[in-house]
Structure 1
Amino acid sequence: MQLLPELPWIVKLLGSLGIILLANRLLKRLALSMAIGTLILALFAGHSADGIINITCHRLFNLKHLNFILVIAQICWLSQQMAATGLMTDLVNLIQSRLSPRGSFSVLPLVMGLLPMPGGALFSAPLVDNCDPEKKFKPELKSAINFWFRHIWEFWSPMFPGPLLAMEIVGLSSLEYFIVGFPMSLFAVGAGYYFLLREIPASRRTPGSQEPAFFKRFFSLTTPITIVVGAYILYQFIPAGLRWENNYFPISLGIIGASFWVQHMRPLPAVQWHQVFSQKKILTLALQMSIIRVYGAFIEANLPDGTPLVAKFSTELASYGIPVVFMVMLIPFLCGLATGLGVGYVGASFPIVFRLIGLNPSFSVLLSTLVLAQGFGMIGMLLSPVHVCLLVSNEYFGTKLGPTLAKLVKPAMVVIGGAILFHFVYPLLF
């Protein structure tokens, strides 16, 4: 039996998120707060105790989720290994030797953002933090910069599962999807510069560490990243019938290869390896990420009557007489806000959104609809209180959700403005 069945689904979804935020503010324990919000959502949906247990176990006790948790741990281990060997410090110093502090803060997460890994903001966070050795800047600013700039590629890059799934649903090629996503990336870079980076000094550091072989050294220091990206790309060339359909598996293999490469180039003794593997924060992150995944499972699950929750929610919005264009904006945004995942908002909302524009829309209508859905979905995801990268970035920098989100709202509004602008421009171009 549903808890408060008379409440609209939009109130239930946003209410469960609000409960997570309120509980975290009162209890100061994110994992417990998310568990409370997840339970409330399950009760809103009317799931029985058996149903709640089944959905939870199905999400947690499978190889894909265990691989996800392993990758989170591997990210922590590799980043700690790179820090212990001095590789991170050398990379930061090299970039700082050529760029202003402002440029260093943005380029490092941008480069690391090429890695399509869950919780990848944890990988770039130590590099961003090393750009501020005197700790002059607020942790929420560093967390916001780290989080925002590492997601620039996800607007269009086929290396990420969200865009890949979107191409499949909408029926566009990588190039056609690039036409829609790349301008949004430019808006995101511009907005991040104007609202975030301008708080960092633009003055260039004193020359003295200028190196003639800058690019050679840069590529050498970023070899671990190249190995992970390369492993992911090469894995896609394995015939579908021969490879495990798990996006985390090639990343896991790549991190293992990167770790062996770092150990070969800069060996660590056994004592330091013990420190690398004994990080307590890994257990905290594993628990938080597992509960996030369970929350997402209840968003994706069918209600006890067999109706998908998202379909019920969308039908409810349509019954309010909301125009199609607003539903194209609202549904992906709310799905992104609720799931905190690119593949989550795409998978939950795009089949519904693109059903609203008919069976055979023109190319211009398809693009103008896609740019709205993509722009609003991405911003919902980036502002989601259950976004893995946002949580791990805040955890690393020791800041809370509210201050970081406050930093992200203004650049997010610029991206939304860009999506609306291109919604009207594409019909004039195509």
Structure 2
Amino acid sequence: MQKLLLSEKISSLWEGRQKYKHTTGWFGFGIGLLEILGLLASLALIFAMVIKKTGIGVALLAGSIVLGLLSLKPPGFAEVAAQAVLDRKTFELTAAVALIALLGAIYRVTGLLEELSRGLRRALPSDKLVVELIPAIFGLLPVLGGALMSAPVVDDVGDDLGLNSEEKTFLNLWFRHVVFFIYPVGTTLLLASYLAGIEVKPLILVQLPVFITSILAGHAIWLIIEVEESKKDVESPFSKRELGKAIFPILLVASFGVIRRWLIIVGVLLSIAFLAIVRGLELET
């Protein structure tokens, strides 16, 4: 009798474990073995394609398809894909990222990047501030490879301060990327906002302590690095108009993005219109 009761208890515990595994996954987080294999396979495919110099966009698309097919049944994958493609948020995000890239291209082609760099060097009283703010301001620009664009300025000013190549590289990368924690037009923060289903402002407030800590950490390193403080003489005078024209579109887009993320589209369109009007007036004169 006792053996029968023990057998029934073991059987009951096993059935309960199987039901638990079915509902919560192998590790208790709702993740099954097939999902884990799908994730590993998709990551392996992405790494392999990137190593073979395949476009990162194509690699990510292929990896997501593999993940979807292995994690979901084909009908379920098709349904999820259709919902994602036809979702209003997808159109908003695509339009915002495309317009932000267009604004970055306009900055690059029209020479506004150089004007912004010159204006900041003339306006700031210290070369140390230039090294901190130039990468940060360029981090606000929606331009691919922005760190490479700010590098010549940091390299030039760094030589005046007696910095070595490692110190200049660190400062350029550090101060450029810390702004991504709170910048509402940054594609990473924008994507996180859409995926989480919340506005950008709450994300900024949550990450504000991280941003402040990163700024203080970077500035603390400045206190350790020995520099030869010397303000390089600038031939032409500081122009508030030149600097304002270059930085106003960035501030405009950021302001709209803090209010509502979909207003980023409106902000970018207004910024492009502003630059077109300003350039048109300059050509006429």
Q: CA deviation at 1:255?
A: 0.9
Correspondence list, 1:276-295, <5 A: none
Q: Which residue of 1 aligns with 2:11?
A: none
Q: Secondary structure at the match of 1:131?
A: helix
- Paired residue for 2:272? 259
Per-residue CA shift, 1:88-119, capped at 9, x if unaligned? 2111012223366764454245346668xxxx
- TM-score w.r.t. structure 1 length? 0.42
**Counterpart AA for 1:151:** F
For structure 1, the residue ranges without an aligned partner over 5 or more in a row are 237-246, 271-430
Q: Equivalents in 2 of 1:57, 1:163: separation in Å?
A: 21
Instruction: Give the Cα separation in 2 of the matches to 1:20 and 1:227.
Output: 37
Matched, 1:31 2:44: no
Distance 1:52 1:27, change over 3 A: farther
Residue identity in the other structure for 1:70: A
> Does residue 66 of the first structure (1) align with residue 91 of the second (2)?
yes
Is 1:131 matched with 2:153?
yes
**For residues 170-319 of structure 1, what are the structure 2 equivalents within 5 Å?**
178=205, 181-192=207-218, 204=230, 206-209=232-235, 211=237, 218-233=243-258, 236=260, 247=261, 249-267=262-280
Look up the match of 2:179: 150
Q: Say yes or no: does 1:52 pair with 2:77.
A: yes
Q: What is the aligned residue count?
A: 238
**3-state SS of the aligned residue for 1:84?**
helix
Q: Normalised by the size of structure 2, how large is the TM-score?
A: 0.59
The 1:206/1:69 distance shift into structure 2, 3 A limit, reads same
Distance 1:50 1:8, change over 3 A: closer
Mapped partners of 2:274, 2:62: distance in 1: 42
Q: Percent identity?
A: 17
Distance in 1 (CA, whole Å) between partners of 2:34 and 2:84 is 26
Match of 2:136 in 1: 110
**Alignment match, 1:41:** 67
Matched residues in 2 for 1:268 and 1:58: separation?
Answer: 46
The gaps in structure 2 that reach 5 residues or longer are 1-30, 160-164
1:36-76 CA-partner distances (Å, limit 9, x unpaired): 3223322441x222322332232234443233233333223
Conserved in 1, the CA contact under 8 Å of 2:133 and 2:175?
no
Larger radius of gyration between Structure 1 and Structure 2: 2
> 2: distance between equivalents of 1:124 and 1:258?
19
Is residue 179–residue 211 contact of structure 2 (8 Å, CA) maintained in 1? no
Give me the whole-angstrom Cα distance separating, in 2, the residues matched to 1:129 and 1:268: 31
Deviations 1:139-187 (A, max 9, x none): x9799447623314269xxxx6668998x89xxx97xx95x64432232
Q: Is the alpha carbon distance of 1:126 and 1:64 closer, same or farther for their aligned partners in structure 2, counting shifts above 3 Å?
A: farther
Counting helix residues as a fraction of each chain, which structure ranks higher? 2
Aligned-residue offset at 1:87: 2.3
Partner of 2:12: none
